[in-house]
Amino acid sequence: MKRILTITLNPAVDETSSVGSLQPEKKLRCSAPVFEPGGGGINVARVINRLGGRALPLYFSGGNSGKRLTALLAEEDITGLPVEIHGETRENLNITDRSTGRQYRFIMPGPTVSSAEYLSLMQAAQAEMDNTEYLVFSGSLPPNGSQGIFKTLAETAMQKKVRLLADTSGEGLREALEAGIYLVKPNLGELAALTGCETLLEADAVSAARGLIRQGSCQVFVISMGEAGALLVTADISEKIPAPIVKRVSTIGAGDSMVAGIVLALQRGQDIHAAARFGIACGTAATLNPGTALCNKEDAERLYGLMNTGSKCR
């Protein structure tokens, strides 16, 4: 079976810790830190592999942080495909205030990437296309943008009959949609930006998505609405899928888990209805875990089963 290839242009090493309470100008004693590989496509690949699928993460890697990222993936039995860059891979910090339960996320910009380094990643992706069934673009861009790589790889994917899914925003998403892709997973704010609206209500999201579908930008929209679930929109389908009701611990990684569930279900031959539902189950399962822990297989399958039986999920 062909694999799923994920691309992460701005990966990170995520460090998670907690303090008794956040206070200014004081030494705050932190709990022992947990380090995990991070970045959109990296997380999508991690979840796919946890769920029993096969994904290859392709990503930029720079300096000691980049080496640590690759080592952290290896600890999860994931062989990545790093493309070396001159800059240092970023490190993000996630802190939980135990007195309130609130999370604070400190997200670094990441290194700039040269044109030659972008070319190296593009060539690496193209070399993998013949062995790829689904290609996932996910995550933020380096500070100097995408350098046109989204559009180029979207066109290559179309030629190779590789289905492309995108979970990004701004410049990168617009580039991919110009070439035409299979599926995109924006939230309401990101969809509004795509259509030139300042804000977009749920009631108007279907017509906005269908307008882009008619233009040939993509075939499927799965519009994320957080704990309310998601809207599935195609040229012929409009369905609101509610998320299971659970006690949420952290929303970090829920979107990446959702994308992983969708693409894995599609690769396994499920239709788009079932794939969207499984994706929502995976995204909800991620919220049961603290910090950047993502979802696990048991929670995802349990919630998916409850969604299909119509049972209350708590």
- Alpha-carbon gap, residue 98 to 16, rounded angstroms: 13
Q: Amino acid identity, residue 194?
A: L
Q: Which residues, listed in sequence order, are joined to residue 222 by a DSSP beta bridge? A: 232
DSSP SS3 for 108? coil
Is 204 annotated in the active site?
no
CA distances from 106 to 15, 74, 155, 159, 235 (A): 10, 25, 35, 39, 39
DSSP string, 31-90: PPPEEEEESHHHHHHHHHHHTT--EEEEEEE-HHHHHHHHHHHHHTT---EEEE-SSPPE
Q: What residues contact residue 119 under an 8 Å CB cut-off, 6+ apart?
A: none
- Alpha-carbon gap, residue 179 to 215, rounded angstroms: 11
Looking at 167, 204, 236, 256, which residue is catalytic? Answer: 256
Active site amino acids: 256
